[in-house]
Amino acid sequence: MKSKLILAGMAIASLFAAPLAANAADLGVRPAYKAPAYVAPAVFSWSGFYIGVNGGYAFGTSDWSGAVPVSLDPKGWLFGPTIGYNLQTGSWVWGVEADWDWSSQKQSKGCGGGATCTMDDRWFATARGRVGYAGWSNMMPYFTAGAAFANVRAENSAGAGATTDTRWGWTAGVGLEYALWTSWSVKVEYLYADLGKFGCPTCVPGPGEDMVTFKNNIVRAGINYRF
């Protein structure tokens, strides 16, 4: 009888001990820690349409040949809007860009007989292609080339007035553009432009005409907003 009571007591004790042992085992197991998934940083893309403004300084040369030979160096400021489009393929950026600038370029110089010859550029515009390298973080150096346009005016005070001509020619240059944020970028660039030559019958006091050339150097900066 006594042995049966002992066995019954052991059985009851084991029933109470089982859940306590399970709880103790659970306390010894640390919860698993799962690190957050890696998210790669966003890569800047130059692709898309953009608009902007640019401004800078221009210094050109204008050689007159004929009855009144003279060489002028018109200088002045430029400012105006820009529009363009880029397509990025890997580290290379292919684009087109156009701009139109108001210009204050002008110079007057004595050209014999007490007369004064004047050359000025009223506006300057370009339509160019661009090829840039985007492998250096947010910085893109580029080469650009295309067509140039200018509204030039030549005058000899001893002549019959001024001759105005809208010239076109070619331009080429280099630049560096830097992305500030997702949509904004700033740039600096240098352009050389050759606008050819035109006849100026009013640049001489008598019959005939002078041939007038115009070559230009432009250093400017700009800011663009990309859509």
Half-sphere exposure of 46 (CA within 13 A, CB side): 31
From first to last of its 227 residues, the chain has per-residue pLDDT tens of 444 444 444 444 444 444 444 444 454 555 555 656 544 445 678 999 999 999 999 999 999 998 899 999 999 999 999 999 999 999 999 999 999 999 999 999 999 888 999 999 999 999 999 999 998 889 999 999 999 999 999 999 988 889 999 999 999 999 999 999 889 999 999 999 999 999 999 999 888 899 999 999 999 999 999 99
pLDDT, position 40: 40
Query: Where do the DSSP E strands lie in the chain?
Result: 48-65, 70-72, 75-89, 92-103, 106-110, 116-133, 139-156, 161-179, 184-200, 210-226
| d(C-alpha 130, C-alpha 146), whole Å | 9
pLDDT at site 3: 47
pLDDT at residue number 113: 82
Q: Distance between alpha carbon 87 and the CA centroid of its chain, in Å?
A: 13
Structure confidence at residue 4 (pLDDT): 46
H-helix segments, the chain: 2-27
pLDDT of residue 43: 60
The domains of the chain, with CATH numbers, are 48-226 (2.40.160.20)
